[in-house]
Amino acid sequence: MDSVDRSLQRVLAGFIRMHVLHHAEEGGLYGNWMIEELRHHGYKISAGTLYPMLRKMEKDGWIKGREEKGGARRRLYRITPQGRAALKEVRARLQELFHEVETKEGQSESRARNPVARPAPPSQSKFRSSSA
């Protein structure tokens, strides 16, 4: 997250945690692989940012890490039951948020609840009156 300002970093950190939980639920993840996966999605995150985040998620009980035996020293992270519950809740809230910000129906409902919302911009009609 090098080129992103700090306030936006705080928002994107939630998305990164959701990515971690998602991949931990798929079967597990390694930190270095997660950095590459996040880059695939446009996040520029360093090991110095991701590993403390993983440790905090582990301390919070969302993921569990264990050292892999054998060759290179690396830690495999998997989701816990508490992490699975958190991911379920985050998915539901993300779906609701997506509905509100990306659908006309959701935007209309949101404006109706918000006492200081500006009027919706006029939409272009699919049907044009004939001028013949």
Q: Is residue 60 part of a domain?
A: yes
Give the pLDDT band (50/70/90) at residue 123.
Answer: low
Q: Is the pLDDT of residue 38 over 90?
A: yes
Tell me the CATH number at 66.
Answer: 1.10.10.10
80-114 pLDDT tens trace: 999 999 999 999 999 999 999 999 898 899 989 99
Q: Is residue 100 part of a domain?
A: no
Q: Is residue 87 part of a domain?
A: no
Confidence at residue 9, expressed as pLDDT on a 0 to 100 scale: 84
Confidence at residue 125, expressed as pLDDT on a 0 to 100 scale: 44
Q: How many domains does the chain have?
A: 1
Confidence at residue 3, expressed as pLDDT on a 0 to 100 scale: 56
Q: Is residue 69 part of a domain?
A: yes
Domain that holds residue 66: 6-80
- Mean pLDDT along residues 75-80: 96
Q: Is residue 51 part of a domain?
A: yes
Q: Is residue 18 part of a domain?
A: yes
Confidence at residue 132, expressed as pLDDT on a 0 to 100 scale: 45
The full 3-state SS of the chain, as one line of letters, equals CCCCCHHHHHHHHHHHHHHHHHHHHHCCEEHHHHHHHHHHCCCCCCHHHHHHHHHHHHHCCCEEEEECCCCCCCEEEEECHHHHHHHHHHHHHHHHHHHHHHCHHHHHHHHHHCCCCCCCCCCCCCCCCCCC
Q: Is residue 92 part of a domain?
A: no
Give the pLDDT band (50/70/90) at residue 69.
Answer: confident
